[in-house]
Amino acid sequence: MAASPPGTPADARVEFLDCRFDPLDFEQVVAWLSARTAADAFGYVTTPNVDHLVRAGREPELFGPLYRDAALCLCDSRILQRVARLYGVRLTLAPGSDLTPALFGRVLRAGDRACVVGADADAVARLAQRFPKVELVHCPAPMGLRHDPAALAATARAALAAGGQARFWLLAVGSPQQEMLARTMAALPGAAGTALCIGASIDFLTGDQRRAPRLVQRAGMEWAWRLLSDPRRLARRYLIDGPAIFPMTRRWARRRRR
Domain borders along the chain are: 10-206
* pLDDT at residue 2, as a whole number: 46
229-244 residue pLDDT tens: 778 887 888 788 889 9
32-58 residue pLDDT tens: 999 999 999 999 999 999 999 999 999
Q: Work out the number of other CB atoms within 10 angstroms of the CB of residue 49.
A: 21
In the predicted model, is pLDDT for residue 7 greater than 70? no
In the predicted model, is pLDDT for residue 164 greater than 80? yes
195-205 residue pLDDT tens: 999 988 888 78
Q: Mean pLDDT, to the nearest integer, of 99-124?
A: 95
In the predicted model, is pLDDT for residue 3 greater than 50? no
Give SS3 for 11.
helix
Name the average pLDDT for the chain.
90
Of the candidates 156, 143, 136, the one whose C-alpha atom is nearest the C-alpha of residue 202 is 136
Question: Could you tell me which residues come within 8 angstroms of residue 160 by beta carbon, excluding any fewer than 6 positions away?
Answer: 185, 188, 190, 191
Count of alpha carbons within 13 angstroms of residue 70, beta-carbon side:
27
Least trusted range by pLDDT, from 115-119, 162-166, 233-237:
233-237
* pLDDT at residue 41, as a whole number: 95
Q: Mean pLDDT, to the nearest integer, of 142-149?
A: 95
* pLDDT at residue 5, as a whole number: 53
Question: Could you tell me which residues come within 8 angstroms of residue 36 by beta carbon, excluding any fewer than 6 positions away?
Answer: 43, 167, 168, 193, 194
8 A C-beta contact, residue 203 and residue 72: no
